[in-house]
A = this chain, B = another copy of it.
Amino acid sequence: MNPQQLLLAIPAAGVLALIYAAVTSFWIKGRDPGNERMKSIGAQIQRGAMAFLRAEYTVLAIFVAVVAVGLFLLNRNEATSDPMVALSFVLGAVASATAGFFGMRVATLANVRTAAAARTGLPPALQIAFRGGAVMGMSVVGLALLGMGSLFFLYVNKFGVDLNALDTAAESFKFGKVINVLAGFSMGASSIALFARVGGGIYTKAADVGADLVGKVEAGIPEDHFLNPATIADNVGDNVGDVAGMGADLFESYVGSIIGAMILGAIATQGAFEAAFLPLILAAVGIVVSILGTFVVRTKEGGNPQLALDAGAFGAAGVMLVLSYFIIDMFVESAGGAIKFSEFADGLTTLHLFYPMVVGLVAGVLIGLVTGYYCSKGKKPVNSIVEQSKTGPATNLIAGIGVGFESTAIPIVLIVAAIYIANLYAGIYGVALAALGMLSTTGIQLAVDAYGPISDNAGGIAEMSGLPSEVRERTDNLDAVGNTTAAIGKGFAIASAALAALSLFAAYRKLALGNTDIVLTDPEVLIGLLVGGMLPFLFSAMAMKAVGDAAMDMIEEVRRQFKDIPVLREALTLVAKAEEEDRDLTPEEDAKVQAAGKKTEVEKCVAISTQASIRRMVLPGLLAIVAPLVVGFWSAHALGGLLAGTLASGVMLAIFMSNAGGAWDNAKKQVEDQKKDMEANTGKGSERHKAAVIGDTVGDPFKDTAGPSLNILIKLMTIVAVVIAPHINPNKIEAPPAADAVEQKADDGEKADGNKTDGKKDEAKADTAKKAG
């Protein structure tokens, strides 16, 4: 196997994905965007979404520039790293932002076209919605692999690594440096992801909470009604939060898992290039499989769209699993029948590497099913919330929090089982492979995920433009489908975050402390542990408070419009009355309502959400970057504790918030499905329904702002730790004598044995600060 050729296959796969995305987006652009009213609404949503991204990227550009300069300066004189890490960081950030921008642009084209297509039937609408999602999915994996692959190629050549001689100390040292510099790409991606998730999450929930509370609860008009000025902002929010935010999130997971596995592969395999390359190659093949999978997603009139989506996603995952076996086998053969590995005397065989991937995939699917169980209508947890809503919002909330807390248990048991088995077969490198097992078909996974908000938006547009009710039914049908796949995607996100964080954590320990252990009873570690345990709470507090404040601004604004615009006030009464009496508007009522709809001041609501979210995303984002920096430069051991503490409380908080939010959401929907009966306190408009709406509203920032951001927080903190690891190592790793540091003193030489240092406890942190090169 020629490693140089393999190197080029990786960006090639990225390019392939981007071509697919470009072709598909042209196809979408060519579809019918519907009537004038629809076009106008679609344009409003797109304008709002793009305005948000522009504002967000302006702030992020400053942030990226500052951090890049910092990274450049920090790494000027570092033997084990290089100022090029700043380039990696910038490219990681730019690639993530580009994927978000492109994906969202296409999503905002696809939503209105999905609504338009739904006028004629389900299959064409499904096609547009799914392909819109696929553009996002392929943009993400394409830019990720193109970026990582190109940088890898660049660095291998720049540092002059001889990939066929990695078993020598000199080449191994250079190769370690390549991987370390490459980690900057992951840090860039994670930074953007965190800001995008937090900012997008604040945006979408402020708009959603505001729209729902005043519109549905107070005025009694249907969701997404065009009389509600916050509805456009709500739809914009679906795009910036659920499409762009989720895209950046998965970009980050994808890159983080791959780079985590590469670092561990480079560290643990004692100089063989195979283990470090394997993750990239698996990802490249995963792109091809994902693209093929998208062609499976099609249905006939009257067919079941659920089956189509499942066939695409699960089919791709299954094919990928089989291919993985052969790819691994090829690599193992190339390494002479077993890959040399530090913890395993006989090296790693094909099955050693394959089983962890299977275990990861199985654990991810099972966690997804458990997540689905806790959040699905008709299942015990949601039923219990519906039941407790009978006695009002307080019992609804207590029940939902209980469900969310409880839902942490089984996923954690599954995650630790995966860790246990993966570790048995291939040590901590196996844990990294388990994460990769879930994420290799991210391309199509993300397509299915992004399909959801596009369909949701299509429904909103259908409602706002007053399309016939069967159109709305079709879009609702589209929206309802894919929940299983989405739940499993959620399971993958949680499990892969935990596993990737663990593997990056192990990488950090190696890079920052060599063979010195992080000992749990060391007071510095305990201090780190407690502070780390606290950070997810503080971070969530910032996110929740931001949503609360922004939502209140939105509520005030909607109320003001409802009060101050007389025609609007009158129209609201008409709609609410018709809704109450369960009938359609009379033609003359409808005319009045239509006229009033033109008086709403939509752009004010959009501006409120944009400003609030941009301003409020900065502090929590900085927390994630500054905390590991400060703690790490105090004590590398404490930073180890910090990461462990953040993992221990952050994963739980993330699962809790996501699932409680999901369960409240479906409890509300389940109440809405009930027969309307005031005596039995069931159905829309009942006290039970009001309670369920309040629970759903509280759950919104849980599941769409704080919860998913926590996954990123955990990984961003870990990747920051990995990037700064060479600088805080109390037993500095020196370049080996054969490296270009010719003037090196003899006594430094004895310490340098490739990537490893002796396991001495750092008694004398001060006296080891000498540098080589």
A residues with CB within 8 A of B = 209, 213, 217, 384, 387-388, 390-395, 397-399, 401-406, 408-409, 412-413, 415-416, 419-420, 423, 428, 431, 498, 502, 505-506, 509, 517-521, 523, 525-527, 529-534, 536-538, 540-542, 544-545, 547-548, 551-552, 555-556, 640-641, 644-645, 647-649, 651-653, 656, 694, 697-698, 701
Contact = CB atoms under 8 A, between A and B. Distances in A.
B401 A544 contact: yes
B502 A526 contact: yes
- The residue among A384, A525, A647, A701 with the most chain B CB atoms within 10 A of its own CB is A647
Number of copies: 2
Contact of A416 (B213, B527, B548): B527
B520 A698 contact: no
Contact of A649 (B517, B518, B533, B545): B533
Contacts of A542: 406
A213 B391 contact: yes
A652 B534 contact: yes
B648 A545 contact: no
A409 B552 contact: no
A416 B542 CA distance: 22
B647 A545 contact: no
B694 A393 contact: yes
Given A521-B428, A530-B415, A649-B652, A405 B540 contact: yes
Contacts of A529: 644, 647-648
A405 B530 contact: no
A548 B386 CA distance: 12
Contacts of A534: 408-409, 412, 652
B551 A395 contact: yes
Given A520-B644, A648-B648, 17 more contacts: A388-B552, A390-B552, A395-B552, A398-B698, A402-B544, A402-B545, A403-B545, A405-B538, A406-B538, A409-B541, A412-B533, A412-B534, A416-B527, A519-B520, A529-B648, A533-B647, A533-B651
A209 B394 contact: yes
B531 A416 contact: yes
Report, nearest first, the 5 A-B pairs whose CB atoms are least far apart. Answer: A533-B648, A405-B541, A406-B541, A394-B697, A402-B544
A468 to B, nearest CB: 33
A156 B527 CA distance: 36
A287 to B, nearest CB: 31
Nearest to A556: B391
Nearest to A423: B523
Contact of A537 (B519, B526, B551, B652): B652
Given A523-B419, A537-B408, A530 B394 contact: no
B648 A532 contact: yes
A544 B698 contact: no
A231 to B, nearest CB: 18
B651 A648 contact: no
A520 B641 contact: yes
A395 B647 contact: no
Contact of A548 (B395, B531, B547, B645): B395
B648 A644 contact: yes
A35 B694 CA distance: 46
Contacts of A698: 394, 397-398, 401
Contacts of A406: 537-538, 541-542, 545
Contacts of A415: 530
A536 B405 CA distance: 9
- The residue among A387, A406, A556 with the most chain B CB atoms within 10 A of its own CB is A406
Given A397-B698, A409-B534, A521-B518, A548 B402 contact: yes
A390 B649 CA distance: 32
Contacts of A390: 552
Contacts of A525: 520
A498 B402 contact: no
Nearest to A387: B552
A537 B697 CA distance: 22
A526 to B, nearest CB: 6
A610 B556 CA distance: 45
Contacts of A545: 384, 399, 402-403, 406
Nearest to A392: B213
Given A534-B652, A648-B649, A520 B521 contact: no
Contact of A419 (B404, B526, B537): B526
Nearest to A546: B402
A442 B401 CA distance: 34
Contacts of A498: 530
- The residue among A209, A391, A409, A648 with the most chain B CB atoms within 10 A of its own CB is A648
